[in-house]
A and B are shown apart, each in its own frame.
Chain A
Amino acid sequence: MSTITAPAPSGTPNQTPEDAQPKSNAKKLLLGIGGFWLVGLIFFIAVLGFKGHKNAAVASGAFSPTNEFKLDTWFALGPVDFNKGVLYVLLAAAITLGLLLYMARRLKQRPTGRLQVAIELFYNLTSSMTGENLPSRQMQRKYFPLIATLFIFILVTNLIGYIPLPVNSVDKFTIFGAHIPSFQIFAADTNVAFPLMLALVMFLLFSYERLKHNHWNPIAFLRSLMPSGAPGGLMPLIFVIEILSYFLRLISLTVRLWANLLAGHMLIAFMGGELGVLVGSPWVQWLLLPLGIVMFVFEAVLIAGLQAFIFSILSAIYLGDAVSEH
């Protein structure tokens, strides 16, 4: 930005002024923002007071920060409930399928545009996940679609979770007499049901593969969990640990994704103003706002992709582990 506004001195052999200009502009911008933030902080404390005045809803306990993660049933079609979790799952599936089906028709042998490059990057990444972790070509062919879908589905679910949408039907606001759900950032995987279901699918699949690999023999199945070369005396202990760790894969897969997303969304919400509401002090909101923005960027840029990657690569590793000898 500053490079555009800063007039570049033409014809000067010395480059120092040209280099120094943007730097000083960026510094000025940062100083300006910092100053604005400081002035705002003083303004809020001076005008609205340092001591908090709790909102009635907060004081009575009617408002709780966790409410925005509650799955409020919007309507039910027979036994099937429809809530915002379902909306996000459907939204994620619609975006994933829409984007990939649209792009599949437009892929060119000579890449055109960044979207194609991104799609190919996704394809190569997921195919290397299966290629490197599953031992046989047949297994790779069999499980690649599942692992790839897992990755893109979780990624899209995570990413749309950072777009504020009016889905908080528990805490509504009124505009021109209409009760509108509050805007919030919600992700389907902030509800434990989402990662649990996916982890359950993967757990059942890699357990099935392990059982099949051990000729449907439960004893061989359990023996295959033992590491080779374990000293005899420690066998029982190691056996218990290995069995535990095997079944904990289900929990760890679930909790890793769910807790990361839930904690991330809560942190963004807290830093982005909720803490200020809870203590009733507007200056606290202003104080924490920069942290909220940093948190948002960190979560959206890093965590969303990282968690999708970890979930899908661990699934591939567990599948590969199920059919390989120790």
Chain B
Amino acid sequence: MSVAAHTPIAASGSFLISPNVGLMIWVLVVFLVAAFILWKYVFPVIGKVLDDRAASINSDIDSAGKLREEANQVLAEYQQRLAEARQQAEEIVDRAHKAGDAHHKQVVEETNAERDRKLEQIRSDIDAETQRALDQIRSEVAKLTVQATEKVTRKSLNDDDHRRLIDDALNDLDFSSLSGGKR
């Protein structure tokens, strides 16, 4: 079988192109054994690792998609809630404004009414006081008039005289400036 191996050294180059049958058998056996071992013990392992990785990448992509979906949902929910909260806040502020306005208006009205009431009260008090002062002045004037008349006439006056004298004196006096036009 080893024809080429036993030809004289450097005899010719023919061994280059004539296949060594022994080597061919070695190649066949070694190649088939190697292919068998690789087929049995190596390729399934590499294939499994790659398939597992592909599966894990796929599931990662899926879960990432799911997560993104969930995140989008949560985001949308939050945006909605935010919008609602904003609307509520606006409503609250609006209501507060309205309430404030109403309260302000009420206070102003009440204040005005109170002021008017007090003014009225003061006015009536003034009128009463004025009336009382006038009456007092009137009685003082009457008293003075009686005393003056007594001193001038040197006689005591009776009630009718008093009355007449007072009326005369009072009719002569003008109280219109004190009583605001009232007599």
Contact = CB atoms under 8 A, between A and B. Distances in A.
B173 interface: no
Nearest to A254: B19
Contacts of B130: none
B3 to A, nearest CB: 10
Contact of A193 (B6, B13, B21, B52): B21
B interface SS class: helix
A149 B5 contact: no
Nearest to B33: A93
Interface string A170-201: 10000000000000000010011110111001
A67 B20 contact: no
A246 interface: no
A94 to B, nearest CB: 9
Contacts of A62: 9-10
Given A85-B26, A107-B46, A149 B31 contact: yes
A194 B53 contact: no
Interface string A106-128: 01110000000001100110000
Contacts, number: 143
Interface residues of A, number: 54
B27 interface: yes
Interface stretch (B34-42, B71-79, B137-145, B155-163): B34-42
A278 B19 CA distance: 27
Contact of B20 (A101, A119, A191): A191
B23 A149 contact: no
B95 to A, nearest CB: 60
Interface in B1-49: 1-2, 4-6, 9-10, 13, 15-28, 30-31, 33-35, 37-39, 41-43, 45-47, 49
A89 B27 contact: yes
Interface residues of B, number: 41
A192 B17 contact: yes
A86 B22 contact: yes
A62 B31 CA distance: 35
A63 interface: yes
A93 B42 CA distance: 14
A201 B28 contact: yes
Given A73-B2, A120-B50, A262-B16, A86 B23 contact: yes
A73 B34 contact: no
A211 interface: no
Given A100-B42, A145-B43, A83 B27 contact: no
A79 interface: yes
B23 to A, nearest CB: 4
Contacts of A152: 38
Contacts of A193: 19-24, 27
B23 A89 contact: yes
A96 interface: yes
Contacts of A153: 31, 34-35
Contact of B22 (A81, A90, A149, A192): A81
A73 B35 contact: no
Given A109-B49, A149-B38, A170 B9 contact: yes
B56 interface: yes
Contact of A97 (B15, B23, B34): B34
A123 B20 contact: no
The 7 closest A-B pairs by CB, nearest first: A145-B39, A193-B23, A149-B35, A193-B19, A73-B5, A64-B10, A104-B45
29 contacts: A61-B10, A64-B10, A66-B13, A67-B9, A70-B9, A71-B20, A73-B2, A79-B1, A85-B20, A93-B34, A96-B38, A97-B37, A101-B37, A101-B42, A104-B42, A105-B45, A107-B46, A145-B43, A149-B31, A150-B35, A153-B31, A191-B23, A194-B23, A194-B27, A197-B23, A197-B24, A197-B25, A197-B27, A197-B31
